[in-house]
Amino acid sequence: MAFRASLCVPALACLCLPVAPAAAADPPTPVILISIDTLRADHLSAYGYRRIATPNIDSFASHGTLFTSIDSQIPLTLPSHTSLFTSAYPFEDRIEENAEPVTPGAVTLASVLKRQGYQTAAFLGCVFLERQMGLDQGFDVYDSPFQFEALSPLSGSMFFGANQNPYAVRDRRDGSLVTRAATQWLAQNRNRPVFAFVHLFDLHQPYKLEAEARRRGISGYDAEIEYVDRLLGAFKKTLVDQGWWDRALVVLLSDHGEGLGQHGESAHGYFIYESTLWVPLILHWPSGPANYPQRASQPAGLIDVAPTILDFLRVPEPPSFRGKSLLGGLAAVGQASSEVYSETLHTYDSFGWSPLRSLRVGPYKYIDAPRQELYNLQTDPRELVNLAVKEPAKAQALRRRLMQLLARYAPQHPSPPSRSSSETRALQSLGYLSGGPRTRLEGLRPDPKDRLPEFHQYESAQADLAGGRRAAAISMLRQLLAQDPGNTLARRDLGSAYLDQGDYANARASLQQVLSASPDDYVTHFELGLADENLKLFPEALEHLETACRIAPDAQQCRSALDALKQKMK
């Protein structure tokens, strides 16, 4: 399971790409941005992978540039895409988890291009980018056929209604449906300047091609990559046939990678090693003189992509953008090394353990944690040899730069409010559990490296709950809480398991402890109301259900439970 000094430096400044000024009569260049969620750069054959071939994705680099050292700013879907579109740091946007809606009025790449006269459309593959999360700002068309009914401020989980149409799309849709919708829209807008965002979610766990992968002796992850490669081969053919390929700037990237067992992380969001941060970035240039470099190796981040697109289009970037165009502007000689920032707060938000933040400068990458880490990615790309003790001066110098960056871009606006609307079944199939309420990050907290066994134990308990093995899950969660009593999320899961088992007294005892740490959690109030009702503690049940309905005023299930309780009390 997963969950869940200024950086205004001319990244890749050595990449000085000559772009001839467009004639006044030339139509604006179309922009097509493709995000393949959860794609590691080193699982593409263009980046040296040999277990499978990805010829169609690789072909996007034809008449283009492949960037070899691009990092995500945060290995979670919504925060990473928000940073991509706003060119702002996750801590500055305050979008650091999947359950934190984007602030209304945010300046995005889509909103900038819309003001330039572009027709803008997005086609989404998963619920984490659903319009309720606010990333639809600036899009004329936002094709996200999902509808969750509530957010949990403790776990960050998204929830669906019990009465939802069972045939409706719930948490994700196949990439073939995404590309089909994008193809139809592009065909309808052939003669207009367009910005199309296409998001594919097929690489995310759980994998649907596991059986085929086992027969072929490859991983389920690689089988999904091959499937996406075929989809993008067909989509590229459509771009060629409709006349987009030769005249569009086509950008292909990923929001984050996948752990796949490296450093003990199976998915993403727990650590910030390169296994989950290193992402592909391929820019296919419109037809014209082929004077662009085929590869660029200077370290940079996804935060730099939006400024690069605007620079290529000769559109001024807004002052809120923090990244810098990869097209350059300064000569490589004497160029200061760029800084690439990344973070994850998942273990802090969900379990109360230490947050993780990193800064990469040149080949060196520093990770700020209770036990500091320093790696030379040039000689140690898998981050196996921690140099923090051997090179303490280098580690401290990078830490100072990291602290300066955090101070320089400290958020100036309050945290955005939650957009809870209702409650029911948790979105556990995607494995995201992140987004608890953030407080001041002070005091010594456990290092996530040291709590990895407990996290694996929590993952096992979640698997038991998903498989209906409640007794096994309860036993494991109790063991975990004996070792880590402050693990609020595990305690809430324990209360939920007791509730499902009909053990209302123990459910009530667990959930009451959760409220002391997370008093505004919808799930806890709702489930406490159910537990109290079954214990015939009607006034207490009424109080909790009324509180839950205030937190999520449009919650149909909450209203139904509350109305039923009131009738019972009569």
Please state the three-class secondary structure of 163-202 as a single string.
Answer: CCCCCCCCCECCHHHHHHHHHHHHHHCCCCCEEEEEEECC
Mean pLDDT of 250-278: 97
Confidence band, pLDDT 50/70/90 cuts, at residue 98: confident
* Domain's final residue, options 291, 311, 343: 343
What CATH number has the domain bearing residue 323? Answer: 3.40.720.10
State pTM to two decimals: 0.88
Identify the CA nearest to 242 among candidates 30, 509, 499: 30
pLDDT at 431: 37
By mean pLDDT, which of 11-20, 326-335, 541-550 is the weakest? 11-20
d(Cα 415, Cα 207) in Å, to the nearest integer? 35
d(Cα 559, Cα 546) in Å, to the nearest integer? 9
pLDDT at 442: 53
Q: Do 59 and 196 lie in a common domain?
A: yes
- Within-domain flag for 437: no
Mean pLDDT of 411-423: 46
Counting residues of the chain whose pLDDT is more than 70, the rounded percentage is: 85
- Within-domain flag for 323: yes
d(Cα 5, Cα 402) in Å, to the nearest integer? 8
Mean pLDDT of 281-295: 89
pLDDT at 352: 87
* Domain's final residue, options 308, 343, 378: 343
Mean pLDDT of 221-236: 98
Average per-residue pLDDT in the chain? 87
Phi/psi at 438 (nearest 5 deg)?
A: -95, 135
Residue 16 pLDDT > 50, yes or no?
A: no
Residue 143 pLDDT > 70, yes or no?
A: yes
* Domain's final residue, options 343, 370, 404: 343
- Within-domain flag for 376: no
pLDDT at 168: 46
- Within-domain flag for 424: no
pLDDT at 414: 52
Scanning the structure block, which residue is given the tokens 């292909």? 252
Residue 489 pLDDT > 50, yes or no?
A: yes
- Within-domain flag for 430: no
By mean pLDDT, which of 40-44, 92-96, 200-204, 534-538 is the weakest? 92-96
What lies within 8 Å, CB to CB, of 394 at 6+ separation is: 364, 366, 374, 387
What CATH number has the domain bearing residue 519? Answer: 1.25.40.10
Task: For Cα atoms 347, 414, 113, give the angle at the middle one, nearest 5 degrees.
Answer: 95
- Within-domain flag for 509: yes
- Specify the number of domains making up the chain: 2
- Within-domain flag for 63: yes
By mean pLDDT, which of 209-213, 237-241, 258-262, 418-422 is the weakest? 418-422
Residue 151 pLDDT > 80, yes or no?
A: no
Mean pLDDT of 14-31: 59
CA Rg, the chain, in Å?
24
* Better pLDDT: 433 or 153: 153
Counting residues of the chain whose pLDDT is more than 90, the rounded percentage is: 73
- H or E stretch covering 300: strand 300-301
Domain region containing 546: 451-569
Six-digit token pair at 102?
């984007």
In three-state form (DSSP H/G/I as H, E/B as E, the rest C), the secondary structure along 486-509 is CCHHHHHHHHHHHHHHCCHHHHHH
| Side chain identity at residue 28, one-letter code | P
pLDDT at 425: 33
- Within-domain flag for 73: yes
Six-digit token pair at 438?
């953030």
